[in-house]
Amino acid sequence: MLCGNTAQSEFGRLRTAIEMHGNSCKCVLRRYGGVDAIAFDPDRIRGGKIIIQAKRYTNTVGLSAVRDLYGTVHNEGAIKGILVTTADYAAQMHTRSLQINH
């Protein structure tokens, strides 16, 4: 998890990236319950709550991180989840994310 000014800076960049794709998002740092931030996409058709988790890892991020995010998205009633990391993703994560997204 990111903390302090680093978190504010990183989530500021994430918010900018989300807005570049035509979304108007409000990020709220929460840091508990598996949630580092929440973004809200106000679009009435495809919008809703977006859960953001940040992982500061030096090794690859494994499948358990995707499973945790998937469970948190469902528990929070969100439309999607975003996993931000400083490391690479393990190969099995790509396979699992494709299975989740059908």
- Tokens 């990391």 belong to 85
CATH code of the domain covering residue 88: 3.40.1350.10
CA–CA dist 85, 2 (Å, integer): 10
CA distance between the termini of the chain: 29
Q: What domain count does the chain have?
A: 1
pTM listed for this prediction? 0.69
Note down pLDDT in tens along the chain; length 102 residues: 444 455 566 667 777 777 776 666 666 666 667 787 787 888 888 888 888 888 777 888 888 888 889 899 999 999 999 888 888 777 776 676 666 665
Cα Rg, the chain, nearest whole Å: 13
Q: Which domain holds residue 53?
A: 4-101
- Tokens 């709220």 belong to 28
Residue 24's φ and ψ, nearest 5 degrees, are -105, 110
